[in-house]
Amino acid sequence: MNLNAHFAWGFALWASAEESRVNGNLMLAPIGYYYSCFHSSYAYLNAIPSIEASTFHRMGHQQLSNLIAQYLGADLQADFDQMRDLREAINYLGLGEPAGKLRVLRGHSLRFGAPSNSLSLDEMVMKARDMSRTFITKMLDEVARLPKKAVDTFPRRGDATENWLQEYMQEDIYLGLMSEDMRAKTLAVVRDILS
């Protein structure tokens, strides 16, 4: 149940982030992109029998990052941590010293990375978008590697049926939480990511 519910939230957050980006809300979009990664990795890790259920109570960002490293490898942990850094850099007016954040408040550009290889705000948002989509796809690939019995009810790439969409997206997520327009956009995103 946790896996499906958190994958559904991950998809809904990604769709919400995408809608924010398209509408020019560049501060909100990276939050949804990051939390789509958070929820999809949290969902997958719930399917690992050797992880005690109590581990998932009040899961923190660093705790989840450590579990990703342990069960999914250092590369996915690095991607997850970079997504978190991108979100924090955008939402907290840059990383580092308060003087740098003050410069942003005074009109200087928000940049991420070393000065010789830094990204603008638009580039940061697009990087968060692309990285989060790739991350979710990798989580779906990991789900596909689980024993068949374990994945019978999980979202799968290339699945032609819409049973998962009906049960977890339309019934659980949509109960008064999204407008009809946003529901349609979320379903389109889920179909696209699962294809």
Domains observed in the chain: 2-154 (1.20.120.330)
Q: Which pLDDT score is estimated for 7? A: 85
For residue 88, the tally of other CB atoms under 10 A from its CB is 17
Q: Which pLDDT score is estimated for 64? A: 95
Task: Answer yes or no: are the C-beta atoms of 193 and 133 closer than 8 Å.
Answer: yes
Q: Which pLDDT score is estimated for 71? A: 94
Over the stretch 85-99, which tens digit does the pLDDT of each residue have? 888 878 777 666 677
**Which residues share a beta bridge with 112?**
119
Q: What are the backbone angles phi and psi of residue 97, rounded to the nearest 5°?
A: -70, 150
Give yes or no for residue 110 having a pLDDT over 60: yes
Task: Answer yes or no: are the C-beta atoms of 157 and 194 closer than 8 Å.
Answer: yes
Task: Answer yes or no: are the C-beta atoms of 28 and 17 closer than 8 Å.
Answer: yes
CA–CA distance from 173 to each of 41, 85, 91, 183 (Å)? 18, 28, 26, 9
Enter the pTM of the model: 0.82
Over the stretch 146-161, which tens digit does the pLDDT of each residue have? 876 666 667 777 765 5
When pLDDT is cut at 50, 70 and 90, the band that residue 33 belongs to is very high
Task: Answer yes or no: are the C-beta atoms of 13 and 195 closer than 8 Å.
Answer: no
When pLDDT is cut at 50, 70 and 90, the band that residue 54 belongs to is confident
When pLDDT is cut at 50, 70 and 90, the band that residue 1 belongs to is low
Looking at 5-14, 57-66, 117-126, which range is the least confident one?
117-126
